[in-house]
Amino acid sequence: MNADTAVGAGTAAQADVTGRLSTRVRNVPASGIRKFFDILASMDDVISLGVGEPDFVTPEHIMRAGVDSLTQGETHYTSNYGLLELREAVAEYLCDHYGVRYDPQTEILLTAGVSEAVDIALRAVIDPGDEVIVPEPAYVSYRPCITFAGGEPVGIDSSAATQFRITADQVAAAITPRTKALLLGFPANPTGAMLPREEWLQIVELARRHNLIMLSDEIYGRLAYTMEHTCVSALPGAWDRTILLGGFSKSYAMTGWRIGYVAAPGPMLEYIMKVHQYVLMCAPTMSQYAALQAVRHGEPDVVRMLDAYAQRRTLIVDGLNSMGLDCVPPDGAFYCFPSIRSTGLSSQEFAERLLQEEHVACVAGDAFGPCGDGHVRMCYAVPAADIEVALERIARFVNRLSG
Ligand SMILES: Cc1ncc(COP(=O)(O)O)c(C=O)c1O
């Protein structure tokens, strides 16, 4: 058999076998963001407002703590829950910032980022056919993770007209006898929306009345500009039914370390732990040491970076509005979600042509749910000088379209 025959035979066999793979997975579309990373990697001189991560490198003292742990021989598994010292520090942090209490022994689990936390929490909650309500536009992983866990995502739409804030009435209208949980992520990716406390109180009341579980992804909780962040489990009546998901990636510029946590009442955490221990064993050990340093001594870094994001937020929002791309000032996180309807292009066309013609990357809004169409997501966690150049290029692009 020559090499060509071997390859050909392999390909036919692969096609056969691929047909045997999971229908559930096949039906989930690939992320609209990934496609952009591939194009981007092949181009020079691109300003990327596409990727959702801080431009800052992890602060030196945090990095050092991770490296030191390695040189000191901390290269082994930790407890499935993670280092007790870090769980204690996270418990203290949550209590100091939000007044919410968790027992570090039994109510906090360290994970490989909030990505893992979302996945394992959903798998611990969902039975086949359960519905999970998701305010949209939403983080790209939410729908797929619900589907992978055997559930059915039920989106509720928000729009620029209401600053992308959903209401308790919308949640109430989406509840059916099959609703198991709400997956809430505020401040929101991709809109930056946050909800006022009064709205939260009504949502908690609905969850209580219908015996629903609330999964609250608070990864952007420290990046808030227009109002104080509401920690959902700290709301009256919420603690018993809330799974709090938190992380280090965004506020401490630690995306590559893959470290986050779940905080939940003991009996619920046990379910989540069961999934975690069989799929991951424990969060990366060096990252746990780095996170320990971050949570104990990283507050000045959080404040410094938040300050920079706040300035960049004003720069980009003003710039976009002044060129006729209507942009709601985001309440939190580091994304803005301007409307591109005035250009007459679809979100996909806008994003693709802006990249090809002006070398500025952003993400088409429909990647975050159907109601995101007509918008694009731009991440402003990039240096202000790059935002300025990007704005010049976007203005040139928009002018060309209208001219
Ligand atoms: C809303 C939201 N949740 C979770 C994640 C994943 O974060 P991590 O790096 O902690 O896995 C992201 C990353 O973009 C996000 O935007």
Q: H or E element: which one contains 15?
A: helix 3-18
Segment 286-301 mean pLDDT? 98
Are 179 and 324 part of one and the same domain? no
**Domain annotation covers residue 385:** yes
CATH number, residue 280 = 3.40.640.10
Q: Is residue 200 part of a domain?
A: yes
Beta-carbon contacts of 240 under 8 Å, excluding residues fewer than 6 positions away, are 265
Question: Quick one: CA torsion of 369, 370, 371, 377, rounded to 10 degrees?
Answer: 50
**What does the pLDDT look like over 368-380, one tens digit per residue?**
999 999 999 999 9
Residue 323: other Cβ atoms inside 10 A: 18
Domain membership of residue 279 (yes or no) is yes
| Residue from 53, 120, 139 whose mutation best tests the ligand 1 pocket (most atoms within 8 A of CB) | 139
Residue 132 β-bridge partners: 153, 181
Given a contact cutoff of 8 angstroms between Cβ atoms, the answer to whether 121 and 215 are in contact is: yes
Average pLDDT, integer, range 180-188: 98
CB 214 within 8 A of CB 182: yes
Task: Determine the pLDDT at residue 9.
Answer: 58
Is 339:325 a contact under the CB 8 Å cutoff? yes
DSSP 8-state assignment for residue 216: E
Task: Look at residues 151, 209, 155, 160 and name the one whose alpha carbon lies nearest to residue 184.
Answer: 155
- Indicate the top mutation candidate among 115, 122, 337 to test ligand 1's pocket, ranked by most ligand atoms within 8 A of CB: 115
CB burial readout 249-277, b (16+ within 10 A) else e? bbbbbbbebbbbbbbbbeebbebbbebbe
181, 314: one domain: no
Measured in whole angstroms, the distance separating CA 72 from the mean position of its chain's CA atoms is 33
% the chain with pLDDT above 70: 97
Q: Looking at residue 29, what is its pLDDT?
A: 85
Residue 99 is predicted with a pLDDT of: 97
41 and 159 both lie in a single domain: no
What spacing in Å lies between the alpha carbon of 185 and ligand 1's midpoint?
10
The number of the ligand 1 atom at minimal distance from the alpha carbon of 220 is: 1
Asked, for residue 4, whether it belongs to a domain, the answer is no
Whether the CB of 262 sits within 6 Å of ligand 1: no
- What pLDDT, on the 0 to 100 scale, is given for residue 328? 97
What pLDDT is attached to residue 4? 45
Please compute the mean of the pLDDT values over residues 194-199 and round it to a whole number.
Answer: 98
Q: What average pLDDT does range 66-87 have in this prediction?
A: 98
Q: Do both 278 and 129 map to the same domain?
A: yes
- In the prediction, which pLDDT does 278 show? 97
The answer to whether position 9 is within a domain reads no
Q: Is 347 in the pocket of ligand 1 (CB under 6 A)?
A: no
- CA atoms of 117 and 7, how far apart (whole Å): 40
Residue 67 lies in a domain: no
Q: Ligand 1: does its nearest atom lie under 6 Å from the Cβ of 284?
A: no
190 alpha carbon – ligand 1 mean position (Å): 11
Burial class (CB in 10 A: 0-12, 13-18, 19+), 298: buried
**Is 324 in the same domain as 371?**
yes
Instruction: State the closest ligand 1 atom to the C-alpha of 259, by its place in the atom list counted from 1.
Output: 10
Quickly tell me which residue has 């692969």 as its tokens.
14
> What CATH number did the domain enclosing 389 receive?
3.90.1150.10
Residue 402 pLDDT level (bands cut at 50, 70, 90): confident
pTM of the complete model: 0.95
- 149 and 269 assigned to the same domain: yes
DSSP 3-state assignment of 322? helix
Average of pLDDT values for 313-336? 98
Residue 403: pLDDT band by 50, 70, 90 thresholds?
confident
Polymer length in residues for the chain: 403
20 in any annotated domain = no
Segment 5-60, tens digit of pLDDT: 455 557 888 888 889 999 999 999 887 666 667 777 888 899 999 999 999 999 99
85 lies in the same domain as 48: no
Please tell me whether residues 38 and 184 are part of one structural domain.
no
Shortest-distance atom of ligand 1 to CA 188: 1
**Average pLDDT for 140-166:** 97
Q: Are residues 136 and 37 in the same domain?
A: no
Copy the structure tokens of residue 160.
């620029």
Cβ-count burial 27-44 (b if 16+ within 10 Å, e if not): eeeeebbebbeeeeeeee
Mutate to test the pocket of ligand 1, among 189, 191, 244, 252 (most ligand atoms within 8 A of CB): 189
Mean pLDDT rounded to a whole number for the chain: 95
The reply to whether 213 and 322 lie within a common domain is: no
Of 270, 297, 324, the residue that ends a domain is 297
Q: What average pLDDT does this structure show over 340-368? A: 95
| pLDDT score recorded for residue 201 | 98
Tokens 């050909």 correspond to: 8
| Residue ending a domain, choose from 266, 282, 297 | 297
Residue 340 has pLDDT above 70, yes or no: yes
d(CA 287, CA 283): 8
**Which structure tokens are listed for 179?**
């609703």
Name the 3-class secondary structure at 20. Answer: coil
Q: Is residue 247 lining ligand 1, measured as CB closer than 6 Å?
A: yes
Question: Which two three-digit tokens encode residue 204?
Answer: 């908690």
Quick check: 395 pLDDT over 70? yes
Mean pLDDT, residues 359-366: 95
Q: Are residues 110 and 84 in the same domain?
A: yes
Say if ligand 1 is within 6 A of residue 59 CB: no
pLDDT tens-digit readout, 240-268: 999 999 999 999 999 999 999 999 999 99
Domain boundary among the residues 272, 297, 322 is at: 297
pLDDT at 39: 75
At 2 the pLDDT is 46
d(Cα 272, Cα 120) in Å, to the nearest integer?
6
Closest CA to 160 of 394, 336, 395: 336
Distance CA 233, CA 216 (A): 8
Please give the residue range of the domain that contains residue 388. 28-58+301-402
Within-domain flag for 160: yes
Looking at the fold, whether 158 and 263 belong to one and the same domain comes out as yes
Does the CB atom of residue 115 touch ligand 1 within 6 A? yes
Number of compact structural domains in the chain: 2
